[in-house]
Amino acid sequence: MTDHNHSAGRHHRTRLGRSLLTARIPRTEHTGHLIADGGSPGVGHSVWLPQASAVAAPAFGESTLPTWALERIAAQFAPHGARFGVCHGPGPARTGLDPAPSPFAPTWLVGAELYRPTDQPPTLDLALVIADPCDFEPEPTLEVTRPFWRTLGEAVKPGGLVLVHTHQHHDQAGLIDPAGAVVRDASRAGLGYLQHIALVHARLMREPLGAADPAPRQAPAIGGRRPVHRRVHTDLLAFIAA
């Protein structure tokens, strides 16, 4: 990974306030291996299932986005190649975090360039926001979300896409679904909401939903009871830049 010192240019663009990792997605060969057949013609699938040989390990640190889902993002949304950028979302627990590809991430992320929060972001075809909630993390304020989504939208070419990965979580108040707040804030910043895709993590044909959850976690108690919840899907929200 290269730490990129951005040269002067695009002085009119606001800084993102988050580190941005950029790479070139190569042309996807044999997209049929990554994109399942079926569905209505011209309508994208709203539920993505992992194939039997899919790599289920996370593609990035501090996220549950599976590597197979990132590979399908490339095949589905950038089959001919694209300038790609990934950053952490506006949540307060993610301030100062750099996007870190895991050892299982696609090889096209090797040699990616890192833009610091004070750098002006480059022009992108496709942006991915890692917005997995952290335990007991408060919601970001409008003073943070407004410039974040506006600047990210400006960094993406008109007609380009901004994808946001998130999921439900528990806090002391109960079950929290951040998708609604993301859609609201991104839409107010001028991004057009396109699609909500459910990424199914369980291999349903051979992994029953009633199977024991191997991940150790201590969910917060709500009303003296702890919720029984096994996460079998996460959310991918798609927006288009104006």
Give per-residue pLDDT as tens, 187-224: 999 999 999 999 998 776 555 555 555 555 555 555 56
* pLDDT computed for residue 161 by the predictor: 96
69-73, 170-174, 219-223: which has the minimum mean pLDDT?
A: 219-223
* pLDDT computed for residue 11 by the predictor: 42
53 pLDDT band, cuts 50/70/90, is confident
53-57, 63-67, 105-109: which has the minimum mean pLDDT?
A: 53-57
Segment 150-164 shows an average pLDDT of 95
Q: What is the mean pLDDT of the chain?
A: 83
Q: Is the dihedral of CA 53, 238, 104, 176 positive or negative?
A: negative
Give per-residue pLDDT as tens, 220-236: 555 566 555 667 899 99
Segment 148-170 shows an average pLDDT of 93
* pLDDT computed for residue 95 by the predictor: 83
What one-character DSSP code corresponds to residue 64? Answer: -
Segment 118-129 shows an average pLDDT of 93
The residue with greater pLDDT, 6 or 147, is 147
* pLDDT computed for residue 231 by the predictor: 74
CB of 135 within 8 A of CB of 169? yes
> What phi and psi values does residue 160 have, to the nearest 5 degrees?
-80, 175
Show me where the domains of the chain are located. Answer: 2-34+57-207+228-240
